[in-house]
Structure 1
Amino acid sequence: MELDIIRLPLFKSEEMLPVLTKVLPGRARLQLGLPSSMSVFRSGLLVLTSPLSKLSLRLVPILTSAARLVQDTLYIHLQPGLSLTGSTQPRSTYVPATSEVYSLISKLYADAGVHHHLDVRVLLTNILNQGTSPPVLGSVQNLSQPPEVVLTDFETGDGGQSNPVKQRLERYATSCYSCRPNLISVLLYPEYELESSDGDLSPDGDLSPQQETSVKDEPLQSYSDVVVGGTFDRIHNGHKILLSVSCMLAENRLLLGVSDKDLLENKLLKELILPFEQRVTQLNEFLVDIKPSLLYEIFPLFDYFGPSITDPDLKCIVVSKETLKGGLAVNKKRVENGLSELALHTIKLAIDPQHASYEEEKISSSSMRCRLLGTLLRPPRKGLFPPPHLYVIGLTGGSGSGKSSIAQHLVRLGAFHVDMDHLGHDIYMPGGPVYEQVVEAFGTDILKEDGTINRQALGAKVFGDKEQLRMLNNIMWPVMAQMAKEKIEEAAAQGKSVCILDGAVLLEAGWTDLVNEVWTVIIPEDEAIKRIVARDGISEEAARLRLQSQMPNSQRVKQSHVVLCTMWEPEVTCELTEKAWALLQKRLKAK
């Protein structure tokens, strides 16, 4: 058996390391001599040559093969019918924008969802909508992540890695897109199933005659100016379907409204939504990558309408089934403003087959944010104090957040617990380290008959008086920090590997110097108020005032390494806490 040797780049410490890899010929998948889960190229270009009628059922094995090789960005170029054999060098040609292409692109993004590491981008440069005069294809398009490898589903008769075919593939890729120097080419030979259980595939992998006749291939209506809106938080495959369809419909200009400020208030886990500028940057990069010929106008959306009800040049608005009412409201406003109604193009929601019980069924940004819970959001800090072999987690959260339940579960998992709130209560006792200072600063009228400090009376003096509160904190916090150090040293002496420093004012008090990571527990304000009222027997207004006197969740999250939420059933809280603990253990082993 003759083997080709391909030099594949691996990346380690920003350095390219050559690896000799053997390719097994025949209709078998590419054998890399590496674990199947290992990807070796940061970016790749996948050229799909199968006929559209066959491609839909081939996407899953094709994407699976490509995902073994590419670890970050995978560009996809549709060129059905492209031949890489023969004497002439193939060139890119236009593919008409039809309902079949539209459905294929939607399915492609949906199928790519199982490959979480891949940022898939279907390129639309050669997808021609019916209202556009086709310019001559030939100029090289710049891509934000130039491909290091070009892949294809094209197959040779002998099932091998033919050098002439690969050379044509490389020349084809570099004639269309900016690629990295020393571009590598690979013929994938995915493992197609010969026949599905319901007979959709014939023995050679084709669609059955019944299914072929059911595929409608109608031209996709296009419009000069199109508008679409959304939060666009962390561009996911659902967004990509929406944006790709919008780009296919638009001939000249695409307006994009990006929700901000008040429109974010009711979003799930709003504290984890990326800043507006960052969302716009990601959105713009994706759009310019997939279709650079369009004019893009991106604007902040502070209400549900934006310029969609005032721009006279707009012709079409793209909505989903759940935002269709919003599209109808836009048209009502346009009529009131003396403008023509927009064509409503409604897309189907993409279902997320891997959604958890507490996540949305559709692919959504809310679900993406849920999956961030318990994960490391930024690199750990090097604690200035923690002893060697002890890792300190600073656990914090507002009143009613459920921080205590998280702390209790972490203790059950093996952590040493330092309850800073309890320490704060103890130091008020007569003979305690701050007793005399507090009485001297705030007067004897804060004492009970037995000489102990009346915490309610003290609280009444400092509540609403920032200067008095600052004075009390300056007395309390340094002493509590010293007591925390002693407790941390006690944990180290007991041989513990993880210590939880549990404090509601961890961030305000500046105790972050004592910890390696900050973990914050958040909860929507309305839910926190309900919990406080039920727990403490106070009014809703009093509970709201208490929360408003504390650091807001958004500010806590900005300083946090890990975020958790307790708004679901206790079982979900335990599940998220165990997820965070398991990921922490991996980090500790990797140290």
Structure 2
Amino acid sequence: MYNLTYCVSVSVALVSVVIAYLILSNSKSVSMANNGILFVSNAAKAHKLCSKVSKLVKNVLYIKFDGGPESTLSIINKQIVNIYSKCWIYDVRLMLKPRDAQTKIKTNYPIQLIMYDKELSNESDKLRNCLDNIQTEVMLQSLDESPTMASLTNEEVKTYEYVALGGTFDKLHNGHKILLSQAALRATKHVTVGVTDVNMIQSKILWELIEPVEQRIKAVLDFLTDVNPDLEYNVLPIQDLYGPTKHDARLQLIVVSEETIRGAVKINEKRKENGLNELDIYTIELAEDTNKQSTEEETKVSSSNQRMRLLGTVLREPKPNPNIPDWPYVIGLAGGIASGKSNITEKLKSKGAAVINCDIIAHELYKPGLPLNHTIEETFGRDVITDSGEVDRNKLGSIVFGDKEQLERLNHLVWPAVIEEAQRRIKALGEQGYKVVVMEAAVMVRAKWYTYCHQLWSVIIPPKEAIKRLKERNNLTEEEAKQRVDAQPSNKEQVDVANIVFSPFWSYEYTQTQIDRAWDQLQLYLNKRK
């Protein structure tokens, strides 16, 4: 009897070990899922279970709930705020309509993992079959630790046929998702979304890094059709505050955030002028950014924070350049006048890079007795040459910076001589053992000298800040400083061809963080390149 009991105990223990192993093995496979969907038996459970499965999905998590007394509009309204304020691990999308057994669930991203709470465990086949876009099927039963009760809320969710909202919607984040979801929750027929374009974005921090409007429109439309495919959507670029709200008589509600409510007031003033009914206004609170990475960033969730986090990171992967030697590895450093290029260069030099300053090369080539000095005198006159035979850069600058044709004449003389000398020095530095050479030049983009480099890194600051620095540094008038800034490629032109972008507009520490980030990434890249 004792032996029988012992054998049974051992068998049970072995089975338990095997089950535990299988569960752990299944968890490892589940953790590899790119996109998943979580089915919950009521909307009140959505946030709790969303947090619980956060380590099982890499990219997109859809949440679909069943109907019932714990899936009212009021509860969904609160879940929107809870989910998008607290679930930051991945791209989460709360689908706003209860599950309908007769309707296929369409998603823009293919589902690889299906999860459900224990109350739906008997419906696993139905859940799998209701999906329209499914890949590898990995089933997981999520367990409720305790019953989840809906928090009581007295907020009434009033619905409208036609709802409007607007925004930049750059790098679609959870703050945007709250705004869009609240609009879609309150609409029964149609949602109009104005996406700011052209001059409306130029007041934004690092606006040069804002995604193209077509890309932002697609991201908004993808999200809306995921959370509620039953509505009509009109997502369009707008060039002013009003967009279609100033003339579309069908619109009834506008959804805004706390910081844009004044815009809604102006829209109603314009509608009143045009003889249209004023829009009801629904205001959402700003979401706090719990992932704030520096004191320079905003406390709210914002696209500005996300753009700032791009500084010092690879925006475009470098492409092989067969026109130059593999080593040394040449980084072209571009940036407008007074942008802070020299400061960035010094920081890179302290990391171990060799540095070539093309502006200094040009000045050296201006020296008396050299061919370029004589050519400049012949082209621009004896007045630009000092009594000692040097090129008077201030006089030369006053001639060329206000006259595009004259500037082109100067560039045609100087650029070939400078790049030839720069290449000679790069080769010599490589022979001395340097692996990385930074070639700094204000004209890097306009002269297309980045074609002689393996990567282009650009330095930008707001034009107003550049003008301010130039006035202080060179003792210039506002107009003189503006002429010099305007004569160079814009920040946007420099960003559009850059692999990495820096902005020394904030603190020295924040600039150093950007440099550290870029240099560390470069070392990883170069180690793979060997």
Structure-1-length-normalised TM-score = 0.81
Question: What are the within-5 Å matches in structure 2 for residues 179-578 of structure 1?
Answer: 179-180=134-135, 182-188=136-142, 205-206=146-147, 215-216=152-153, 220-355=157-292, 356-578=294-516
Contact 1:138 1:176 in 2 (8 A): no
Contact 2:361 2:418 in 1 (8 A): yes
Contact 2:73 2:185 in 1 (8 A): no
Residue in structure 1 matched with residue 65 of structure 2 by the alignment: 78
| CA distance in 1 between partners of 2:286 and 2:216 (Å) | 21
| CA distance in 2 between partners of 1:24 and 1:241 (Å) | 35
Shift of the alpha carbon at 1:460?
A: 3.7
Shift of the alpha carbon at 1:448?
A: 1.9
Matched, 1:110 2:73: no
| CA distance in 1 between partners of 2:69 and 2:188 (Å) | 15
| CA distance in 2 between partners of 1:541 and 1:339 (Å) | 45
Matched, 1:43 2:35: yes
SS of 1:418's equivalent in the other structure is: strand
| CA distance in 2 between partners of 1:244 and 1:492 (Å) | 56
Matched, 1:32 2:28: yes
| Deviates further, 429-438 or 258-267 | 429-438
Contact 2:401 2:484 in 1 (8 A): no
Question: What are the within-5 Å matches in structure 2 for residues 122-137 of structure 1?
Answer: 122-126=94-98, 137=101
| CA distance in 1 between partners of 2:223 and 2:18 (Å) | 35
Contact 1:403 1:521 in 2 (8 A): yes
Contact 1:395 1:503 in 2 (8 A): yes
Shift of the alpha carbon at 1:347?
A: 1.0
Contact 2:43 2:65 in 1 (8 A): no
Shift of the alpha carbon at 1:336?
A: 3.1
SS of 1:303's equivalent in the other structure is: coil
Q: CA distance change for structure 1 residues 94 and 519 in 2, over 3 Å: closer, same or farther?
A: farther
SS of 2:130's equivalent in the other structure is: helix
| CA distance in 1 between partners of 2:351 and 2:432 (Å) | 16
| CA distance in 2 between partners of 1:416 and 1:434 (Å) | 26
| Deviates further, 379-388 or 483-492 | 379-388
| CA distance in 2 between partners of 1:450 and 1:296 (Å) | 71
- Structure 2 residue runs of 5 or longer lacking an equivalent are 1-13
Residue in structure 2 matched with residue 159 of structure 1 by the alignment: none
| CA distance in 2 between partners of 1:478 and 1:94 (Å) | 76
Amino acid at match of 1:422: I
Once the two structures are superposed, what CA deviation does each residue of 1:493-548 show, in whole Å capped at 9, x if it has no partner?
A: 23222211111101111211221111111111111111111111111121111111
Amino acid at match of 1:73: V
Q: CA distance change for structure 1 residues 386 and 95 in 2, over 3 Å: closer, same or farther?
A: farther
Q: CA distance change for structure 1 residues 232 and 97 in 2, over 3 Å: closer, same or farther?
A: farther
Contact 1:532 1:543 in 2 (8 A): yes
SS of 1:518's equivalent in the other structure is: strand
Matched, 1:175 2:112: no
| CA distance in 2 between partners of 1:171 and 1:205 (Å) | 25
| CA distance in 1 between partners of 2:457 and 2:16 (Å) | 52
| CA distance in 2 between partners of 1:495 and 1:112 (Å) | 49
| CA distance in 1 between partners of 2:417 and 2:264 (Å) | 59
Contact 1:110 1:237 in 2 (8 A): yes
Residue in structure 2 matched with residue 88 of structure 1 by the alignment: none
| CA distance in 2 between partners of 1:215 and 1:318 (Å) | 23
SS of 2:470's equivalent in the other structure is: helix
CA RMSD of aligned residues (A): 2.8
Shift of the alpha carbon at 1:103?
A: 1.4
Contact 2:367 2:389 in 1 (8 A): no
Once the two structures are superposed, what CA deviation does each residue of 1:317-346 show, in whole Å capped at 9, x if it has no partner?
A: 101111122222222332333322222111
Shift of the alpha carbon at 1:485?
A: 1.3
| CA distance in 1 between partners of 2:189 and 2:256 (Å) | 19
Residue in structure 1 matched with residue 92 of structure 2 by the alignment: 120
Q: CA distance change for structure 1 residues 585 and 228 in 2, over 3 Å: closer, same or farther?
A: same
Shift of the alpha carbon at 1:431?
A: 3.1
SS of 1:308's equivalent in the other structure is: helix
Q: CA distance change for structure 1 residues 479 and 274 in 2, over 3 Å: closer, same or farther?
A: same
Shift of the alpha carbon at 1:186?
A: 2.3
Once the two structures are superposed, what CA deviation does each residue of 1:89-124 show, in whole Å capped at 9, x if it has no partner?
A: xxxx897442222111221122222x2xx2222222
| Deviates further, 410-419 or 212-221 | 212-221
Amino acid at match of 2:302: S
| CA distance in 2 between partners of 1:525 and 1:170 (Å) | 60
Q: CA distance change for structure 1 residues 474 and 2 in 2, over 3 Å: closer, same or farther?
A: farther
| CA distance in 1 between partners of 2:449 and 2:17 (Å) | 59
Give the % identical residues: 34
Contact 1:3 1:24 in 2 (8 A): no
- Structure 1 residue runs of 5 or longer lacking an equivalent are 7-20, 81-92, 128-135, 157-164, 193-203
| CA distance in 1 between partners of 2:322 and 2:422 (Å) | 14
Q: CA distance change for structure 1 residues 525 and 2 in 2, over 3 Å: closer, same or farther?
A: farther
Residue in structure 1 matched with residue 53 of structure 2 by the alignment: 62
Contact 1:148 1:184 in 2 (8 A): yes
| CA distance in 1 between partners of 2:335 and 2:47 (Å) | 48
Once the two structures are superposed, what CA deviation does each residue of 1:180-237 show, in whole Å capped at 9, x if it has no partner?
A: 2x42222355xx8xxxxxxxxxxx5456xxxx68522665211111000101111111
Contact 2:44 2:76 in 1 (8 A): no
Contact 1:418 1:501 in 2 (8 A): yes
Shift of the alpha carbon at 1:143?
A: 2.0
| CA distance in 1 between partners of 2:182 and 2:94 (Å) | 11
SS of 1:434's equivalent in the other structure is: helix
SS of 1:71's equivalent in the other structure is: coil
Contact 1:79 1:95 in 2 (8 A): no
Structure-2-length-normalised TM-score = 0.89
Contact 2:115 2:141 in 1 (8 A): yes
Q: CA distance change for structure 1 residues 100 and 119 in 2, over 3 Å: closer, same or farther?
A: same
Q: CA distance change for structure 1 residues 568 and 562 in 2, over 3 Å: closer, same or farther?
A: same
Q: CA distance change for structure 1 residues 505 and 312 in 2, over 3 Å: closer, same or farther?
A: same
Q: CA distance change for structure 1 residues 496 and 187 in 2, over 3 Å: closer, same or farther?
A: farther
| CA distance in 2 between partners of 1:55 and 1:457 (Å) | 70
How many residues end up aligned between the 2 structures? Answer: 515
Shift of the alpha carbon at 1:488?
A: 1.6
Contact 2:70 2:150 in 1 (8 A): no
| Deviates further, 143-152 or 405-414 | 143-152
